Amino acid sequence: MLDVHPLERGPLARTVWQIGSMVGFAVVTGASAVKVLAGRRLNVRETYQQTWFLASVTLLPTLLVTIPLGVLIAVLVGSLAGQLGAQNYTGAVVGFVIVGQVAPLICALMIAGVGGSAICADLGARKIREEVDALEVMGIPSIDRLVVPRVLAAVVVTVLLDSLVMVVGVGSSMFVQTIVLGNSSGGFLQTLTQFSQPADFFVAAFKAAGFAVAASIIASYKGLTARGGPGGVGEAVNETVVLAFTMVFVINVVLSELYPVLIPGKGEY
């Protein structure tokens, strides 16, 4: 049994080994990022290319999801507010839902599903072509050269997408509330600003960055540990999406529970 690879053992042993290995990989990646940034040895070209690539593959899907979702939220909130006689609070509810929850989650799902699968497939292909091993033989750490630029690119793209989703989501919701449902635009904006605070936007950006770090590290780990040729890469991509989605929702629950405890709400209903 000592000569058997952990991935070829039983399901429990395989799961425990992968969790420990992934945590270790995350720690090493964090240390490498600090070392690379402090030593000014970041591969700027690779980081720029990955940033542009992730932005190009996630921008359109993000917009296609945000616009109808913003309209749906506006219709549901407007209908419920009308039944309760609380039309003046639609801006506050829309702001809370889109800024606090929807925007970071949409960005996380895009970077985990679209961007993460692309990162995993790219690194997995490099792994089975032995390009990663060639870098290590030449004395170039694969984490410094390949993983850190992708993690940084994912963080930058996700935070920017988060801001875009906020603008588009709130804008589409306001359009439906004022044009379609006939509510007051002034009342919408008044309650939106009354019950929102700068901390809400900073926390949303922080959540988006955390989601990006988790998704990109999982994707990189799965890509660099892919085995079994093209079929193994495809399996690693599937596992990346599932694990990244799971981790995103776990992080979101933890941060959502901590936020109202650390930062009191603004305004009185």
Above pLDDT 90, what percent of the chain?
Answer: 7
The answer, as to whether pTM is greater than 0.85, is no
Question: For residue 1, is pLDDT > 70?
Answer: no
What is the distance between the alpha carbons of residues 102 and 112, in angstroms, rounded to a whole number?
15
Average confidence (pLDDT) over 109-136: 85
156-172 residue pLDDT tens: 999 999 888 888 888 88
What is the distance between the alpha carbons of residues 197 and 264, in angstroms, rounded to a whole number?
10
Q: Which residue has the tokens 């960055």?
A: 209
41-95 residue pLDDT tens: 888 888 899 999 888 888 888 888 888 887 777 777 766 666 655 556 666 677 7
Q: What is the pLDDT of residue 152?
A: 92
Question: For residue 184, is pLDDT > 60?
Answer: yes
Q: What is the pLDDT of residue 269?
A: 42
Question: For residue 141, is pLDDT > 50?
Answer: yes
Q: Can you give the residue ranges of every domain in the chain?
A: 43-262
Whether the Cβ atoms of residue 41 and residue 140 lie closer than 8 Å to each other: no
Nearest to 116 by CA among 251, 236, 34, 249: 236
